[in-house]
Amino acid sequence: GVDDAIAAFRRAIRADSEFTGSYSNLALVLEERGDLKGAEAQFKEALAREPKNVAVRTNYGGLLYTLGRYEDARRQLEQAVRDDPSYASAHNNLGAVYGKLGRSVDEIAAYRKAVALDPHYADVHHNLGLALLKEGEREAGEAELRAALRIDPTYVPAYLNLALSLRDRGDLEGAVRLLHEARAQVPRDSNVARLLGEILVQEGRKAEGIDILKESLALDPNQPDLRRTVEHLAAQETGP
């Protein structure tokens, strides 16, 4: 478990206090457990021993992003891409930071650089797609989301965001087809079922939509707003 991993990495540090990997791995496990302050301390220890370790600096930048310290994250990640311009993950994380800072041109450029470095990086295609959609470049944005799905046919966020884009431009049937494809790949995802049900209701296929919304609730009962919606729709179907 996580506690065993933490104990093991602490023992490794006591055995060799200069090995960067032990600090970095401990930081990642602490971050997973939610001890973000402890994780930051360990990332700093790792970088003090190996300042040019781009993987560690990139992960540290990701932690700072999680903490909402976007300017600190920007500085770390810009340093990472200076130290190794070929490290795609650093460009991807930097793109996310630029997005939070409202620097959309730099955001898209960072994602494009990451895609150029690693064309099979589904996360980056997804992130680039969202950034392009945000800027009104719908065709290019949807193409990037489809690229993410070609790389990883189980990538739920790409299905959801592409379906939302199709819905928003009025292609409800295209959104429904896409979400049925998603259900074939990830049949137990409550978010896919929910969006499919909502779009079916919007399309006028209310009974079918209600059934799928109920499936979403069965997969994740902790959706009180959806439960109220389903009850309301079902009452409309049955009448007084």
Residues 8-67: pLDDT tens digits? 999 999 999 999 999 999 999 999 999 999 999 999 999 999 999 999 999 999 999 999
Separation CA 105–CA 93 (nearest Å): 15
When pLDDT is cut at 50, 70 and 90, the band that residue 239 belongs to is low
175-225 per-position pLDDT tens digit: 999 999 999 999 999 999 999 999 999 999 999 999 999 999 999 999 999
Q: In whole angstroms, how large is the CA radius of gyration of the chain? A: 22
Looking at residue 177, its pLDDT comes to 98
What is the average pLDDT score of the chain? 96
Q: How much of the chain exceeds pLDDT 70, in percent?
A: 99
Cα separations in angstroms, 81 against 53, 72, 91: 11, 15, 7
Looking at residue 236, its pLDDT comes to 86
Q: Residue 16 phi/psi, 5° resolution?
A: -150, 95
Query: Looking at the predicted structure, is the pLDDT value of residue 79 above 80?
Result: yes
Query: Looking at the predicted structure, is the pLDDT value of residue 240 above 70?
Result: no
**Apex CA 104: angle with CA 145 and CA 95, to 5°?**
65
DSSP string, the chain: -HHHHHHHHHHHHHH-TT-HHHHHHHHHHHHHHT-HHHHHHHHHHHHHH-TT-HHHHHHHHHHHHHTT-HHHHHHHHHHHHHH-TT-HHHHHHHHHHHHHTT-HHHHHHHHHHHHHH-TT-HHHHHHHHHHHHHTT-HHHHHHHHHHHHHH-TT-HHHHHHHHHHHHHTT-HHHHHHHHHHHHHH-TT-HHHHHHHHHHHHHHT-HHHHHHHHHHHHHH----HHHHHHHHHHHHHHH--
Residue found by looking up tokens 């093991």 in the block: 8
Looking at residue 224, its pLDDT comes to 97
Task: Enter the tokens of residue 45.
Answer: 């220890």
Q: How much of the chain exceeds pLDDT 90, in percent?
A: 96
126-173 per-position pLDDT tens digit: 999 999 999 999 999 999 999 999 999 999 999 999 999 999 999 999
Looking at residue 237, its pLDDT comes to 76
